[in-house]
Every structure is written in C-alpha cells, then in structure tokens.
Amino acid sequence: MNLPKVFQNNNIKTDNISQNVFYSEKDSKFISLDNIEPIKDKYIIEKKINDLFNSTNYVYKLNVILKTLNDEIKTTVIGRTQKYLITIDNKKIDISSILDIKEDN
C-alpha cells in the first residue's frame, strides 16, 4: 500500500525572521489614572442599586432619591435592566449618569 506524500511548503525563507516576529508595546495605549476613578464609582453605584433591590423594603417599588449629572430626582423605581432604572411613570434613567442613589423614607 502506497502512502500519500506529505505536503511541504517550498517557499520557506529564513531571512529577517526576527524582524517579522518582533513585538513592541511602544504603540499600545496605556490607561491613565483618570479613567480608573469613574469605573470604581460605577461599581459602587451598581452595588448600591443591588443592595436597594435586595433589601426587605423592596417588594415591587422603591422610593429613591437619585443624584445625576444634571439634577436630583425624587422618584419611584420599579425595576432595572442592565443599563437603565425603570420608574413607575415608565421613564428610563441611565445608570451610567447616576452619581449617587439612596432610599427615600
């Protein structure tokens, strides 16, 4: 039984291989420290929202005071999506625009 020949590429060049493979991080972009703080604040806001929804006071609605980039809103929140809080009057509030959230007594 004859076995098939193994394919071998005849166009193998060995000149300047080191120049073709060289990699440098010189061109990569570094994250500045200014970009880290909003991410940290984002996680704090997410934790506050999760704590409010997991509290015993939340059954189907929750009275909250939201401090956003533009103003302070006193509203009733009934649910959330990944990016928005949904209020009882069917408005969506972008979570990324929230600076602080607390329960209104």
Dump the DSSP string for 33-93.
GGGHHHHHHHHHHHHHHHHHHTSTT-SS-EEEEEEESS-EEEEEEEEE-SSEEEETTS-EE
Residue 6 placed within a domain: no
- What rounded mean pLDDT belongs to the chain? 78
Query: CA angle at residue 18 from 17 to 20, to 5 degrees?
Result: 65
What pLDDT does 20 receive?
A: 54
What CATH number is given to the structural domain containing 97? 2.30.30
Structural domain range at position 61: 32-103
Residue 49 placed within a domain: yes
Residue 54 placed within a domain: yes
CB atoms within 10 A of CB 81: 9
Instruction: Between 37 and 13, name the one with better pLDDT.
Output: 13
Residue 86 placed within a domain: yes
Count of domains for the chain: 1
What pLDDT does 15 receive?
A: 61
User: Is the pLDDT reported for residue 1 higher than 60?
Assistant: yes
Q: What is the pLDDT of residues 73-104, one digit of tens each?
A: 999 999 999 999 999 999 999 998 899 999 98
Residue 55 placed within a domain: yes
Residue 15 placed within a domain: no
What pLDDT does 29 receive?
A: 55
